[in-house]
A = this chain, B = another copy of it.
Amino acid sequence: MREVAVIGVGMTKWGELWEKSLRQIFVETALLALEDAGVGRIDSMYIGSMSPGLFIGQEHIASLLADYLGKTPIPAVRVESACASGGLALRQGFIEVASGLSDIVLVGGVEKMTDVDGSEATYTLGTAADQEYESFHGITFPGLYALIARAHMARYGTTREQLAMVAVKNHDNGSMNPLAQYPFKITVDAVLNSVLVADPLRVLDCSPITDGAAVVILSSLSTARKLKKPLIKIAGSGHATDTIALSSRKDITWLESTFQAAQKAYKMAGKKPKNIDLVEVHDCFTIAEICVTEALGFFDIGKGGEAVQKGLTSLKGKIPVNSSGGLKAKGHPVGATGVAQVIEIVKQLRGEAGQRQVKKARVGMTQNMGGSGGSALVHIFERI
């Protein structure tokens, strides 16, 4: 397999973009990425999107977006793994370039979530859970993650305040990210006093409903070397699955798919947790970030909450987590999230992250997750 680099990134402001359609949001973003890469030609496209069928009544979007970007007849592939669709698109693009079939591949993620009302959005997000054993019976994603939170609190002593501190940290970081949906700070008190969604989770523990896209351009390392820009290599890629129903798992506080995907990525990259300078993780709910940092091996099992409280995951901590603001502050257009994580890592490794720059960042990681962990993608990036 050939080595693969990220040669361009593009992202536009996320939010409730009522005046723009999915195709428009995507094309504006893709043009930024192509401009950043300094290439015009692409050999193929991968698009991560969770449910354009339910959100906007449009399937077949990879061809649609290739057309609106002016790139037909190139191959265009939509991939879906619920909220991990973006990370999955990256992996599939990586495989295609690594195989030698293509040299320059566009990887995008996009979701238009605000064209439906809240109950329809909740229903659509629920299709990432097991329809027959979970969603049909009325449970929604805040409910599923609330079960995980309660179990983590009961077993490991994780506190309600520690959950809140995840959101506070991510909003601190997001306040320095002009493309974030909610670029402002919040306090622990604000989280604790926000509206209850599914006990113990309150609205400020939850990532928002967002419209947005994110696009990166991949190429072989040999092509990347010709571009005379900082070289960011995809050093490791891991993808794993787990049951999508929580009830089928031995331990709902342990994210086995994240653990398995991370093990594969670490092995491919020849790295260990101590070699990672910063990580973007899937904080769809505050409890998720705590569980993920344990499964990635940054903290001992059960110690993820304590780590946040001690500041180990803040920008100047042992392992900065979600310097972009995370899903919580940056927003969570589900199919785009996994690609936006890559953009943050690339910007950090290039030294282009502005106020939220992590010093001496050379190796970064992304972790993107579908549903309550039914799928997970972990990638490791290295500046060489």
Residues of A within 8 A of B (CB): 1, 21, 44, 50-51, 53-54, 56-60, 62-64, 66-67, 71-82, 88, 91-92, 95-96, 98-101, 123-124, 126-132, 135, 239-245, 248, 256-257, 260, 370-371, 374-375
Contact = CB atoms under 8 A, between A and B. Distances in A.
Contact residues of A: prevailing secondary structure: mixed
Contact of A82 (B1, B59, B243): B59
Nearest to A66: B241
Contacts of A123: 57
A266 to B, nearest CB: 15
A370 B160 CA distance: 49
Copies of this protein chain in the complex = 2
A127 B58 contact: yes
Contacts of A67: 241-245, 248, 374
Contact of A81 (B62, B82, B100, B256): B62
A56 B135 CA distance: 12
Given A62-B80, A67-B241, 5 more contacts: A53-B53, A53-B124, A64-B130, A64-B374, A67-B244
Contacts of A59: 50-51, 54, 80, 82, 127-128
Nearest to A82: B60
A127 B57 contact: yes
A88 B77 contact: yes
Contacts of A96: 95, 99
B135 A60 contact: no
A17 to B, nearest CB: 16
A79 B77 contact: yes
Given A77-B92, A78-B81, A57 B135 contact: yes
B244 A60 contact: yes
B60 A81 contact: yes
B57 A241 contact: no
A380 to B, nearest CB: 16
Contacts of A51: 53, 59
Contacts of A135: 57
A304 B256 CA distance: 54
Contacts of A99: 1, 95-96, 98-101
A372 to B, nearest CB: 10
Contacts of A75: 91, 239-241
Nearest to A240: B73
A239 B54 CA distance: 26
Contacts of A256: 73
B1 A73 contact: no
A92 B59 CA distance: 19
